[in-house]
Chains A and B, each alone.
Chain A
Amino acid sequence: MVSGVSEGQQQRKAPLWQRMVIGARPRQTLARMAVLAVVCFVCFRYVLLPVRLQGGSMEPTYADGGFNLANAWTYRHGEPARGDIVVIAMAGRKAMYLKRVLAVPGDRVRFVEGALEVNGAVVPEPYVVFEGRWTTPLEQLAVGEYFVAGDNRAMPREAHVMGVVTRDRIVGRQVF
């Protein structure tokens, strides 16, 4: 018979290991764990997406094997801007590209011997340490199109995924 035994008495009766592991009130502990699990699920699935970096296309800004978070809410009330580092979805969100936005809709963009040209003017890129000599055809970006590339320009152009991406594929912005 449990009736008549107060919660305080139960707390006193609980063995030490139980109080240490799941607390004196297991039901409250379970409820807290459930709430925490739901909060974590929502947070890391819809707001802050965990990103494990693989590959060297963003070096030295981001090293191969690093960890980061992408804020999926950044662009709910705004649009990607030049210089933003964004995550780009493919078939889903388990494997995504990490690139820097170099040009936005309406821009004309190209690389000439490694120099970035946007709307006819050379754009300084202080984040580029590993320079290259890429030359690409001129791209006129339409509405909803962005030009993205990694920071590591020393890679061969063929081995470096870069170019035009549509707005619907941009999932969020890197947090740090």
Chain B
Amino acid sequence: MELVVLALLVVAGVWWMRGDSDERQIERRMNALVELLEKDRDTAPMLLANRSRQVRDFFTAEATLSMAPLFRPSLSYADIAPMTFYVHRNAEDVRVTVRDRVVEVAPDRQSAVLRCTVDGRVALAGETVRLLHEFRIDWQKEDDAWMIARVELVQAIRAPGMD
């Protein structure tokens, strides 16, 4: 019994020692972004414009989003807020779950790559559309804050005719 308690204390200590690591900061930023991307049926329309700007603030000014085959061509920083607003205004309900997150921070601790599977459900005109895709998200440290520099949809299954 004592050994079990000791092992638990060691695990808790290691967890605490990790502190506010870059990996945890990125995970927290990702959680905050997911929260902003989601939308309830009762979300006030007045909030949507502000929320789309908040989403944009997660990205660097040079950010690019390569989302083929979902969206073509690539999106840029300027497209993020209008695109988010458009989706939120037209969808009745948006749910986003991020699974299988793996964060790799570069040795200089100034950039990182997050690989994950995004499971999105968008209720549109009474029907729910499910989008399940793998993403590679490149993060960059700007003024001590982790910002998204690039988003790329990774096609685990490549659609016919797409090289």
Contact = CB atoms under 8 A, between A and B. Distances in A.
Are these two chains actual partners, yes or no?
yes
Please report whether the interface of chain B is mostly helix, strand, loop or mixed according to DSSP. strand
B67 to A, nearest CB: 14
> Size class of A's contact patch?
20 to 34
Contact of B157 (A93, A97, A137): A97
Contact of A163 (B100, B132, B135, B158): B158
Contacts of B105: none
Given A91-B115, A91-B116, A169 B99 contact: no
Contact of A169 (B115, B133, B156): B156
Nearest to B116: A91
A136 B161 CA distance: 7
Interface residues of B, number: 24
A98 to B, nearest CB: 11
A93 B100 CA distance: 7
A162 B159 contact: yes
Contacts of B100: 90-95
A95 B160 contact: no
A93 B162 CA distance: 25
A165 B117 contact: no
B99 A136 contact: no
A110 B130 contact: no
A115 interface: no
29 contacts: A54-B130, A88-B156, A90-B100, A90-B133, A90-B134, A90-B156, A91-B115, A91-B116, A91-B135, A91-B154, A92-B100, A92-B102, A92-B117, A94-B99, A94-B100, A94-B117, A95-B99, A95-B100, A95-B119, A95-B132, A137-B160, A137-B161, A139-B160, A148-B157, A158-B69, A161-B157, A162-B157, A162-B160, A164-B160
Given A97-B157, A158-B69, 4 more contacts: A91-B135, A95-B100, A97-B156, A165-B156
Interface of B: 69, 99-102, 115-117, 119, 129-130, 132-135, 154-162
